[in-house]
Amino acid sequence: MITTVNIEEFLTLSKTSPVFDVRTPLEFEQGHIPNAFNLPIFSNEGRIKIGTTYKQIGREEAILQGFELVGSEWANFIKTVKSTTNSKKILIHCWRGGMRSNAMAWAMSFYGFEVYLLKGGYKAYRNWVLQSFKYKLNIRIIGGLTGSGKTEILQEIKNQHGQIIDLENLAQHQGSAFGSMNKLTQPTQEQFENNLAFEISLLQKEQIIWFEDESITIGKRVIPVDLWEQMRIADLKIVEIPKLDRVNALVASYGQLDPEFLIACTQKIGKRLGPKLTQETIVAIQNKDLVAFVENVLYYYDKTYHTGLIKKKDRAQVLYSFDNYNASQIAKFLLQEINKNGRN
C-alpha cells in the first residue's frame, strides 16, 4: 500500500517510522531530514546522465536509461531497508515527490512494506523548515563575557527540565576565532537550518526557550533571519563570574589544543588585537604560558562584548553577579528567577 501525505503528517509519522531519502549522496549531504537514511536510487553521476538525457532526448528515454542504470539493484534496496528497520511501515521521499520516490515506493510496496510518500518531496520539507523560523517563540537569552560558561549553563538548564536551543552545538562551532577547536566540522547552512528547525519542533513554543547570546553568524553558519530578529529583541540575562574563573575555564579548554592552531587563530584577529599584543600572545603560546595567552585574548573579547552591549541598550537586560562559577547553581537560579512571576 502506498499513501501520499503532506509534510505535517509525514513528520508526525517519522517519530515512529524510518525515513528513507532516495536522492543522491551529494543531495543528501547538502541537506536532509534529521535522522533520515540515504537510500539513493541513482549515484551522483547517474543522476547527471539521466538529467542530460531528459533534456536532450526526452522523458521516456530518460526513464529507460534510469532502469538500465539501476538494473538488479532493486533487491539490494529491499535488503537495505530490511537491515535498517524491523518496521513494516516506512516513509520515502525524493526532491519533489516525483519519479524517484514513486519508483522506490512501488518496489517497497510490492515487496510488502506499508509506504508513505511525502507530497512535494524534500522541497516541501525545506519550505516547512523556513516557515518554522517565523513562529513566535518565548525566548530568553543568556549573555556574559567569553569564558563565563554560558554553554554549560544552558545544558544545566536542560538537565533541570528547562527548554533550550544550543546553537553552537547545532553549528558545530563555539562562536569565536578559536571556535572550531581544531576538530569540529560545520554542517552545510542547509543542514544547520534543518537541524535547528527539528530541535525547535520538539519544544513547547509558548513556554520559555533559552538561547545563548550569539552574533548572527556562528563560524560560517548564519542564524535564519526570522529567528535572529526574535533573538535580538529578547530579554537578556547577563551572567557575571570572577575573571579568574573565566581564565581557568579557557585555559582548561584551550590548553588541549595544538599550539599552531592557537597561533593561526590569534593571527586571524591580529588587526583587532594590534601588532604588539598579537606578537606577545603568540610568544605566550610558544612558551606554553596559557594564562598570558588567555588574558591577552580576553582583552579583545571583553572589549568587543561591552561594545556589543551598548548596541543592545534598547532591550531588557538584567545582570546577575556570582562569587564563583557553578553551572548547576547558576542554572537553578535563573530558572527560579523566571518562575517568580513568569516574565523575568
The answer to whether the CB of 87 falls within 8 A of the CB of 113 is no
Start-end of H helices in the chain: 7-13, 25-30, 44-56, 59-70, 73-84, 99-111, 121-132, 150-159, 167-171, 189-201, 225-231, 243-254, 259-268, 270-273, 275-286, 290-311, 327-341
The answer to whether the CB of 172 falls within 8 A of the CB of 184 is yes
Nearest CA to 295 out of 147, 143, 86, 92 is that of 147
Cα–Cα distance measured from residue 219 to residue 192, given in angstroms and rounded to the nearest whole number: 12
Helix (H, G, I), strand (E, B) or coil at 311: helix
Q: Which residues are marked as active site?
A: 94
Cα–Cα distance measured from residue 178 to residue 173, given in angstroms and rounded to the nearest whole number: 9
